[in-house]
Amino acid sequence: MIDWPNVTASGNQELGLKPEELQKSKCVLGFIPVIYYSILLSIGVPVNILTAVALCRLASRTKKALYYYLLAVTASDILSQLFIIFVGFLLETAVFHRDVPALLLHSVSVAEFAANHASIWSTVPLTVDRYVALCHPLLHRQISYPARARKIIGVVLATSIASGVPFFWWSDMWRNSHPPTALDAVLIWTHVTIIYFLPCSIFLVLNSLIIHTLRVRQREQRCQEEQGTKSVPLQRLGKTTAMLLAITSVFSILWAPRTIVVIYHLYVSTVHRDWRIHLAYDLSNMLAMLNTAVNFFLYCFVSKPFRSAVREVILLRGSPLYSRRALPQQQVPTNASISSLYSGNSKRFQRDFTPLSPHGARKPS
């Protein structure tokens, strides 16, 4: 049973405690968050490392910008797990009970927010890349290539690190007894804008345009089939779009409760004084951190090349399939990029980049 605090005046006198101590909310979940985060860390870090190795193989073989963006998302998830889950939740909170120097607490807070921002905003260039690939394929072949992808990823990571610096002054919601100050309000609104409202708005707009474009193409394909003309199937583009929609949708769902709770803490009731808000904040953090470990399963469910690469990593062997296809792949320009996870076969490369054979040419007499 949990011993709930009594905040009445008579209770204050009987227990002989300070009012702020009696008003402090209890942790309803007890050791459940510690067990949850330990399991999530023990599963999420190895899974993300496996994902990173598999994506490195695919990126080196195919030279597609897509895999570099996915690799950046995975690396950012690993940093989030290490700084937020391991250092923040397990070491500082569960082991040391936040009884560490204030400078160290605030420095770790900067690292946590920087890793969090990097994990979320690494998905934005991926979404933009998919939008350009599906809606403007000719432009995508010109502007999407590994060197540019690495530069974009570098800019995102540098911006994420810089955006974490203001959160050096982030207050401890669990332990601060005073109401949120004006600085707290600025930091909270900056936080929810960076990690939720702004990226979700970008995801919503670009994903809506992608879905609209695919629907138009599907209608055109049906018309061409009814007229008896040949058309390019859209199955692969649809599966890649499904993966992108799954990644962004899972993020939006898992991070929504935490965003709501943080705003509620700012304007209605604080985490420190209301055990219900304390419980909601703990559960919302657990849901949000789950987002750092689910992408591996989404990739496995959607992408056959990714499943093959994971199988090779687990079995500690290379793939002869890709070595046989390496020759046509090398003839592709370095700035050429294909617009789906499933465009890994060399037939499409040969169709797009190999000159047509002169079957219809007449022999000179």
- What residue ranges do the domains of the chain occupy? 29-225+235-315
Q: Locate 319 and state its tokens.
A: 């793939």
pLDDT at position 118 is: 95
Q: Which residue has the higher pLDDT, 3 or 217?
A: 217
Q: Which residue has the higher pLDDT, 340 or 171?
A: 171
pLDDT at position 101 is: 87
Sort 329 into a burial class: Cβ within 10 Å, 0-12 / 13-18 / 19+: middle
**Does 97 have pLDDT greater than 80?**
no
C-beta of residue 239 within 8 angstroms of C-beta of residue 342: yes
**Does 115 have pLDDT greater than 80?**
yes
- Mean pLDDT rounded to a whole number for the chain: 80
**Does 344 have pLDDT greater than 70?**
no
pLDDT at position 120 is: 94
Residue 182: C-alpha distances to residues 105, 157, 178, 190, 266 (Å)? 21, 29, 12, 12, 10
What Rg do the C-alpha atoms of the chain give, in angstroms? 26
Q: Locate 305 and state its tokens.
A: 């090349």
**Does 232 have pLDDT greater than 70?**
no
**Does 138 have pLDDT greater than 70?**
yes
**Does 269 have pLDDT greater than 70?**
yes
Fold of 29-225+235-315: Rhopdopsin 7-helix transmembrane proteins (1.20.1070)
**Does 258 have pLDDT greater than 90?**
yes
pLDDT-based confidence at residue 353 (cuts at 50, 70, 90): very low
| Of the ranges 6-20, 192-206, 242-256, the best mean pLDDT one | 192-206
* Average pLDDT of the residues in 13-37: 65
Percent of the chain with pLDDT strictly greater than 70: 75
* Average pLDDT of the residues in 73-100: 90
pLDDT-based confidence at residue 235 (cuts at 50, 70, 90): very low
Please give the model's pTM, rounded to 2 decimal places: 0.77
The alpha carbon of 311 is separated from its chain's Cα centroid by a whole number of angstroms, namely 23
Q: What 3-state class would DSSP assign to 364?
A: coil
